[in-house]
Every structure is written in structure tokens, then in C-alpha cells.
Structure 1
Amino acid sequence: MEEELASAYDAARAVLPVLEDQAADTDRSAEFPVKAVDALRAAGLMGLLVPVEHGGSGGDLGDLVAIAGLFGSRCVSTALIWAMHCQQVDCVVRFGGERLRAGLLPRIAAGEVYLASVTTEAGKGGHLLSGDAALVGDGDQLRIDRQAPIVTGGGHAEGFLVTMRESPDADDHRVTLCYAERDQLTLETTGEWDPLGMRGTASAGMRLRGAVPPHQVVGEPGGFRAVAVESMIPAGHLGWSAVWLGAARRVLSDVLGMVRARGAEKVSDLTADRLARARIDVELVASYLASVRDEVLAHRRAGTSLAGMPTQIHLNNLKVAASELTFRAVDGLMQVAGLAKGYLRDSPIPVERVFRDLRSAALNYGNDRLTTMTGALALLDRDVTFAPAGLL
């Protein structure tokens, strides 16, 4: 496995120029970065989390964090697309049945399947743990009729993980996660995708209709909560945070280079203060991301659940802190870069593009939803347990 992972890291570094070359065009056109994603497919990086026995690299969420940060430093849209794909792969690896894993994971490792997530729903937003549209049994098939206002990269996906209410008479918290192949569905794009930032994610709404066999259920029927808590949420929050951190770190590095080129003697106290504050924000995110990453990995290696209250608080806090502090850092760096070097779209430093991309971070599963949950959990954590949980 060490050899496979070393190869994956080499491949990740090798594709960085492709991501960087396509980033500006992807942003201007608001189109899916086909060339960049094809490079990731060809390099075997879509299978980073696929076990070696299924042809993948056998990576863990620590590897996801490291490589997502690299990709985020070049193209935030491509990096987020890839991180969310890996999030879905983690769900299949950990909760898919043997038949599904044996049939699907080798194809993912070969770059043949990009997985998209279908969890949003009109009326509930991005709330993961409830559902309206229900699976309907039809002989040996489960019928899907699902409308989602946001599906990242859905028009280019070969497979989908879809949340559905377990049955028409089930409680709305009895949610089932299903895998569906593109050719098992009739797909209809609804609405347009012309956002402020994250333009290349091509996250237009979709309606999905079709049927899947029961072995394509991921996890227990009605038991999506376990999949979310143990896989989808931690992989998502770690991956997203790494992408945002990689983007902010790159902008900080570029702006520092610009300021150095002007000459250290020309650096005002105000500029120095702004640089320091951006550095502090980036350092704080990097440190907390590392702590929560280590906490999640420790639980997985020990075979213990991530459902504990302190760990859930830490995962929520990571997403909120990373989304807010990386955006604040880039906002401050735009002040340093100024109108010509920071605010203009044709600036030699992509401050303006990353600024718009990171503005979406607080909206990508709304921070206010997370802070409301964290506030309630904090009242129950009398010891105020820091991350990694139990170490302090």
C-alpha cells in the first residue's frame, strides 16, 4: 500500500499544472473542468480511497486532506469536485455491500466512474438526515423519483449516491442511501448554474428517475444516519476544509511574493498587520484541521465510532472555522494586493477568483445550521473536550 500511496502523491503533483492551466477558463465559462477531471481519472486519483485489493491506492482521510490541499491551491472548483467524489467513495468503501463494492470500486479506481452526491432537496435545503421523496418497492427493484436543487457535477457523473426516504409511509428521518448508475436513471437538468464563485462545479439542479436493485443500498435501509456520521460528514468537512486552506495558503504565498518584490523597506505597518492577520487565520485553520484529522483517524484505527459528542462538535467547528477564517484571510490579502493586483479579474494573482470561491464556503451546508447544533451539543459537554478528543 505504501507504494500505491507514493504513486498517488506523485500523480497528484504531476497534474497540478493541468488544474492551474484550466482554472481561469473554468471560472469564466462556469463549465465543468472536463480536462482537469480527465487528468485525475487518468492518473488513478479518483481511486485514492479505494482499497488496494480493488485496484485503488488504499488511502485514508489523511491522504485526502493532503491532496485536497494541493488541488485547492490550483483550482478550487476542481479540488472540491474531487474531494466530494472521494467523500462518496468513502461511503461505498465503508458501508457498501460486498456485491456493490466488488462491482463498483474497481471501476472507480480505473477512473471510469465519477460519483456525484444527491442530498439536497427542496424544502429541507442541505439537511442530510431527513428526506421527503421516498423509495417505492416495485418487484425486485426500488423506484427513485428525486428532485435536487444542487448536484455538483451531476451532468458529468457516471454514478450517484442518492438519499431517499425509506418508503412512502416511513418517518422523514428514516433515510436510505442508494447508489444509482447513470444508465439506470433518466436525468433532467433543472435551472441554470451561474454563481458568484465555485463556477466550475456545475452544480445545477437535477431530477433523477429510475430504479435500482436492493444490493445498491449503501448501509442499512433507513439507516443513513450511521453512514452520515461515520463517513459522509467527516470526509466532507475534512476534504472541504483542506481545499479552502490550500486556496488561502496559495494566495497568501503569492501576495507575500508580490510584497517582497516591492522591497521590504516599503512595507507599511498597516500592510504588515494585514499580512500577520492573514497568516494567523491560515495557521489556525491548518492547526485545527490537523487536530481533527488526527482525531478521526484515531477513531477509525481503533474501530470506535465518530458519533461521540466531542468529535461531532470538533467536526462542526472545523467546517465553520475553516470556511470563515480562510475567507477572512483572503479578504484581508485583497486589501494588501490592492485594486490592480487583487480586485481585477486579470490580476497576475488570482485573489479575486479565490475570494469569490471562498465566499461560498460558509454556504456549502450553512454555518448557522452547524453552529445551532454545536451550541446544543456544547451544553452537554461539561468537560469542554478539545480535539483530539480525550487528549487534553
Structure 2
Amino acid sequence: MDFRLSEDQAALRDAAREFAQGELIEAAKCCEKTGAPPPKPLIQRFAELGFLGVNIPESYGGLGLGNLEALIILEEFAKISSAVAFPIFESCVGPVKAIERFGSDTLKSRILPSVCNGNCVVAIAMSEPDAGSALTDLKTRAIEKSGKILLNGVKRWCSGGGHADGYLVYCRFSDEPGAKHIGAVYIEKDTPGVSFGSQENLMGFRGVPSSDIYFDNAEVPKENVVVAPGGFKSLMQAFDLERCGNATMALGQASGALEEILPYVQERRQFGKPIIDFQAVQLRVAEMQMRVEAARLLIYRAASNSQHELPSIVESSVAKCFANEIAREVTGSAMQLMGAYGYSQEFNAERRFRDAWGWGIAGGTIDIQKVNIASAMIGRRFDQRK
């Protein structure tokens, strides 16, 4: 078992790091200040350098690499900010992979190349006002009529809502409750009958737009059905990869904070010496390093064991849960070590702390991940309704 990156993987990481640290810092500040996502020309710059669709087959315009390579790149972008990393996230581990895995050849040929060349951003629409952790309670309805699909319902907490060009919508193909008749449909932003609520004002995730989505007899061709009713398990398998992406976004907040704090504690002087000379500071930075390394290894395990497939629910949930928890701890430690500077919006520490908390809520809360882990350990699902 070799824990070292290959030469190609290391070169890919270094290229992503050089670009992110050299060209994205000002863009990240702009996203944070305005709340706007990265501009389209910047996303197309990502595409030119091969950072979009890293694990999408070359036949569709991607690099044809594995999940691990995609996550290696994602972490380097996430170290700068969640906002500038989000286009990488959506193109490598989000709904795009569900389309690549389960969509029709026609749909894949239409959507995936546009994603990889930076002309199309695809978001996922899962949660609803009464269906978050209890996802199988979703009510958005898909009705087949004359070879078309009509969508009606409301989606909430859609990252990319109102901004993305297309949406993978989890929906119900029957009024019967439960997971049996749940599937997913792809729909474009400008489809008649699709509208958006106002942008959410969140604690963090500035530059990652979020809004409600309303569907009022929004019509799409039947070929836009990505997962047919009865395929809820397939949808959640695709979401296991998104969990790894979520974990990596959380890790990026932690590893970015750690990289930034190391020179700070060597330069900042109190009582006549650098604060790193105090044992309490030494212990704190060592603990930060331990947590970051452990989270990265758990993510790499899930990705490596499914390099060109989809991760297991237990490995992805363990990685996400742990990375979400340590990201909050590590970014909090960075703020504490920086004192008043860490609490100032002039520096990155407080923004990373806010974003770290968000990743532990998005994509399935920390506690839900623990339920998934226990369920996998025991070998059966737990019915929360009884």
C-alpha cells in the first residue's frame, strides 16, 4: 500500500496550486465582497487549463482521469475559497457525474462537453421545505404526458440556484410515498415554468449562490430523465461521490488555514519571542496537522477505492463526517492563534471558519453521516419515522 502520490498526480497538484495561489486570490476576495460567483471568463479559464471535468471521459471533453485526481485539484482551489472552488466541485463530483453515469447518450453528448469547456454550469436540486435529511419526503412531481415530462414543485437550498445553467432535479414520478418512485430529471434554467426566489443571505458560502427554485408545469423532453423512478439507490450512489467532494471542500478550509497559520506563528512576536516558541502554540499546530492529514487520508481512501467508479456509502460518509468536524476545529484554532487578526474580515481566517461550518450542513449533516455509518456497520437501514 503506497500512500505517496504518483509523479503525475503530484505534478497535477502543483499545477493546480500554482494557478490557484497565483491567479485566484483576488477573485476570491471579490466573490466574498459582492456575493457573486466567479465570472464566466474565469470559469472558461479553468476549462482551458483542464480543471473542469477532470474525471469526465475524454470523449466528452474531460481529462479522463480518476476521482482522486479530481479531488486533489479541488483541495488546492478550496484552500483559496469555497467560491472559486465551486465550479470544480460541480464539474467533477456533483450532478455532472450523475448525468455521466446514468444519463442517456443524447443528454451526455449535449451537456458534458459544455460543462468541460466552461460554457455550462450544472447544479443539483434535492432539498425541499419539508425534505432535507428526510429526502424521501420530497414532493416535487414529475408527470409524463405525450412523451414529455412536466415538473411541479419547490426546491430549497439549491447551491447555484438562479445562477447555474441547468439543474438535476430529484423528483417523484408518483404520489405514492417513499423512495420507490423517486428519480431525477435535468432541466435548463430558461425553461418556461422555471423561476427562482431571492438569493439566500448565508453565514458563509459567499460567492456560492443559493435560492429556491419553483417549477410550474415546466416541460422537458423525456430524454432528460437521468434516473427513472425506482432508481433512488443509484442517485444516492452518485451522491456518495459528492460527499467526497464536500469533504474535500471542508478539508480545503482546514488545510488552507493551516498553511496560512504556520508563517504567522513564526512571525508574530509576544513577550519578546515568536509565539511558536510557546509550547501551547506548538501543541495547537501539531493537532491541526494531525487532523488535516487524517481527513485527507480518509478522502483519498474513498476516492482510490473507487477511482473510476462511485465510492461506497460508508467510506464517503466517514470521510465527509470526519472532514466536516475537523474543518470546524482547525479553522477555529487558526482564528484563536491569530487573536484579533483572526476575527477581522481583513484576513481569511474568519471566512474559512464560516465556510467550514457550512460544509458540515450541506450535502447531508454530520449527524446524518453518522447514521449512515452506523447503518453500514449494522447492515440495515434505520427507519427514523418509527
Of the structure 1 ranges 33-42 and 276-285, higher mean CA displacement relative to structure 2 is found in 33-42
Name the % identity. 22
Offset from partner CA, 1:177-218 (integer Å, 9 cap, x none): 111122334332224411111121111222134111111111
Name the CA shift for 1:129/1:40 in 2 (closer, same or farther; >3 Å). farther
| Aligned positions of 1:139-150 closer than 5 A | 139-150=146-157
CA-CA distance at 1:329 after TM superposition: 0.9
Aligned partner of 1:199 among 186, 201, 206: 206
TM-score normalised over the length of structure 2? 0.86
Say if 2:252 is the partner of 1:246.
yes
- Tell me the equivalent position of 1:55: 61
CA-CA distance at 1:80 after TM superposition: 3.2
Residues matched between the structures, number: 365
Name the CA shift for 1:265/1:12 in 2 (closer, same or farther; >3 Å). closer
Specify which structure has the higher proportion of helix: 1
- Tell me the equivalent position of 1:71: 77
Offset from partner CA, 1:119-166 (integer Å, 9 cap, x none): 111111154455312111221100012311111112221111111102
Say if 2:228 is the partner of 1:220.
yes
Q: 2-side partners of 1:119 and 1:213: how far apart? A: 20
Q: 2-side partners of 1:252 and 1:244: how far apart? A: 13
Of the structure 1 ranges 78-87 and 145-154, higher mean CA displacement relative to structure 2 is found in 78-87
- Tell me the equivalent position of 1:390: none
- Whichever residue aligns with residue 243 of structure 2, its letter is H
* Structure 2: stretches of 5+ with no match in the other structure: 1-6, 381-386
Say if 2:377 is the partner of 1:378.
yes
Name the SS of the counterpart of 2:24 in structure 1.
Answer: helix
Name the CA shift for 1:280/1:39 in 2 (closer, same or farther; >3 Å). same
Name the CA shift for 1:29/1:181 in 2 (closer, same or farther; >3 Å). same
| Aligned positions of 1:133-212 closer than 5 A | 133-169=140-176, 171-209=178-216, 210-212=218-220
Name the CA shift for 1:360/1:11 in 2 (closer, same or farther; >3 Å). closer
Of the structure 1 ranges 321-330 and 214-223, higher mean CA displacement relative to structure 2 is found in 214-223
TM-score normalised over the length of structure 1? 0.85
- Whichever residue aligns with residue 89 of structure 2, its letter is A
Q: 1-side partners of 2:192 and 2:13: how far apart? A: 32
Aligned partner of 1:108 among 111, 115, 121: 115
Offset from partner CA, 1:9-51 (integer Å, 9 cap, x none): 8477435544311212212222222254343345453332331
Q: 2-side partners of 1:278 and 1:10: how far apart? A: 25
- Tell me the equivalent position of 1:386: none
Question: Contact 2:31–2:206 (CA<8 Å) still a contact in 1?
Answer: yes
Name the CA shift for 1:95/1:205 in 2 (closer, same or farther; >3 Å). same
Name the CA shift for 1:8/1:247 in 2 (closer, same or farther; >3 Å). closer
- Tell me the equivalent position of 2:323: 322
Q: 1-side partners of 2:13 and 2:358: how far apart? A: 29
- Whichever residue aligns with residue 181 of structure 1, its letter is E
CA-CA distance at 1:176 after TM superposition: 1.0
Name the CA shift for 1:362/1:318 in 2 (closer, same or farther; >3 Å). same
